Amino acid sequence: MTEDQVKLVQQTFAKVAPISEQAAVIFYDRLFEVAPGVKAMFPSDMTEQRKKLMGTLAVIVNGLSNLPSVLPAASALAKRHVGYGARPEHYPVVGGALLWTLEKGLGEAWTPDVAAAWTAAYGTLSGYMISEAYGSAQAAE
């Protein structure tokens, strides 16, 4: 990720943060629409899960300027997700739902540069998380 991409991700996330509860609902609705099989991995009451999602995103987005500072937390998160039943093939689906949610939430502010920045951010973090949870061979697929 370039410095400009980091700034774009941080600036656009700041626009989504005020509507974080609504954004989380949209995200999970989309995720369960495109991958209904993952719904069983989540609690029936999603209130806490939605808060965790947005809190984790905030930590990661704010830490992008100093990526090594967020990698230990990303590693631990990835390893916990294995216990929930997450598999490497879930990461692109989650990424797609996240990008779709951001596009809907940002409207006209969702430009090609913003899309590229978020795609780079998600790709960087998800590749690292897959590698940490399943080994580097899985991350390359």
Q: What is the pLDDT of residues 55-65, one digit of tens each?
A: 999 999 999 99
pLDDT tens for residues 26-60? 999 999 999 999 999 999 999 999 999 999 999 99
Give the model's pLDDT for residue 136: 64
Q: What is the pLDDT of residues 2-23, one digit of tens each?
A: 999 999 999 999 999 999 999 9
**Global confidence as pTM:** 0.90
pLDDT tens per residue, range 81-117? 999 899 999 999 999 999 999 999 999 999 999 999 9
140 is a domain residue: no
Question: What CATH number should be reported for the domain holding residue 58?
Answer: 1.10.490.10
Residue 90 exposure: Cα atoms within 13 Å on the Cβ side: 19
Domain extent at residue 103: 3-134
